Structure 1
């Protein structure tokens, strides 16, 4: 079942890269007591994700925070080393927290997976964004396959 507006996020975990290596992050702890702008991309370093999706959130980080967002986070079905390298190469550090969903546990738990097998990618998370307040989905924007409209930082700004 796909998650909907008003639903509480399921309990899963992510990994994020730190100075001391990968660190496990509980979804319950990460989203508790604050507003998070979360977006999911099919993969780090992939064309639309690197050229438009992540850069949009980096560029609009201050505007999102001015509208009440406490943290901006990106998730992808990649390992924390790849997500850390992508963050550095894109200049996302300090603006967007990269949450690795290496086994697609989060994407599966929210019902937003896609099959990228024909591209050699296996199971991935769909392209989507959500505004999460204290663990509850306030807004959910799921893209049609191949689209990039509803999950952008600009679209999310209009929802805040």
Structure 2
């Protein structure tokens, strides 16, 4: 599993924009930026939709006021689902990124197999990334939802 003070692995994520499907590299997403990234097991799932994403939407301005250039939400879903999920929650301050084949999640060592529920998914976590280097890592244990909450991340900025 990736740890604090390590550089993110070079893996691409996708995003559906008005200009079509975009493939985004670590250079594009993280180079020269301070970013908060949070990952959820699945778009449109209960805790993710009722708490995790909404909390980051609510606190986005306060998070960015602490020198954060961007807030990214990542899930092992396709870019179409991530775009629709972001629109359903009016997540204008959050960039919704897809890890469709779980390559980013696996490279971080934060994947889990949910078997019949959905297959390979992401562990719930948040991280602070400064110029591609992880400066804060907050990984939930089991089904907990404590350390990756927006309030908890904000307190670490």
Gaps of 5+ in 1: none
Work out whether residues 22 and 81 of structure 1, in 8 Å CA contact, stay in contact via their aligned partners in 2. Answer: no
Note the C-alpha offset of 1:29: 2.0
TM-score (norm: length of structure 1): 0.96
* Cross-structure match for 1:3: 2
- 1:80-119 → structure 2 map (5 Å cutoff): 80-93=79-92, 95-119=93-117
TM-score (norm: length of structure 2): 0.98
**DSSP 3-state at the match of 1:60:** helix
Work out whether residues 16 and 23 of structure 1, in 8 Å CA contact, stay in contact via their aligned partners in 2. Answer: yes
Note the C-alpha offset of 1:28: 2.5
Q: Report how many residues are paired.
A: 157
Gaps of 5+ in 2: none
Note the C-alpha offset of 1:31: 0.3
CA distance in 1, matches of 2:116, 2:144: 18
- 1:1-160 → structure 2 map (5 Å cutoff): 2-93=1-92, 95-119=93-117, 121-160=118-157
CA distance in 2, matches of 1:27, 1:48: 28
**Structure 1 consecutive aligned stretches of length 4 or more whose deviation exceeds 2 Å:** none
Note the C-alpha offset of 1:86: 0.3
Superposition CA RMSD, Å: 0.7
Work out whether residues 40 and 128 of structure 1, in 8 Å CA contact, stay in contact via their aligned partners in 2. Answer: yes
